[in-house]
Amino acid sequence: VDSRAERAAKNEALFREVNERVKEVAEGFGSDTVGAVCECSSPTCGATIQVTFSEYEAVRAHGDRFALLEGHEDLSIERVIDGNERFILVEKIGEGAAVARDLDPRA
Ligand SMILES: [Zn+2]
Euclidean distance between CA atoms 56 and 21, whole angstroms: 12
- Rounded to an integer, the average pLDDT of 34-52 is 96
32 Cα: distance to centroid of ligand 1 (angstroms): 22
What residue type is 37 in one-letter code?
Answer: V
pLDDT value, residue 102: 96
The pTM score is: 0.93
Residue 11 — φ and ψ, nearest 5°? -60, -45
**Is the per-residue pLDDT at 2 higher than 90?**
no
- Rounded to an integer, the average pLDDT of 22-48 is 95
pLDDT value, residue 1: 59
What share of residues in the chain are helix, strand, coil (percent, to 5)?
A: 40, 25, 40
> Are the C-beta atoms of residues 80 and 102 closer than 8 Å to each other?
no
95 Cα: distance to centroid of ligand 1 (angstroms): 20
CB-CB neighbours of 28 under 10 Å = 8
Ion ligand 1: residues, CB < 5 A: 38, 40, 45, 47, 72
1 Cα: distance to centroid of ligand 1 (angstroms): 24
> Are the C-beta atoms of residues 65 and 55 closer than 8 Å to each other?
no
87 Cα: distance to centroid of ligand 1 (angstroms): 10
103 Cα: distance to centroid of ligand 1 (angstroms): 19
**Is the per-residue pLDDT at 72 higher than 90?**
yes
Under the banding of pLDDT at 50, 70 and 90, the label for residue 26 is very high
Euclidean distance between CA atoms 89 and 92, whole angstroms: 10
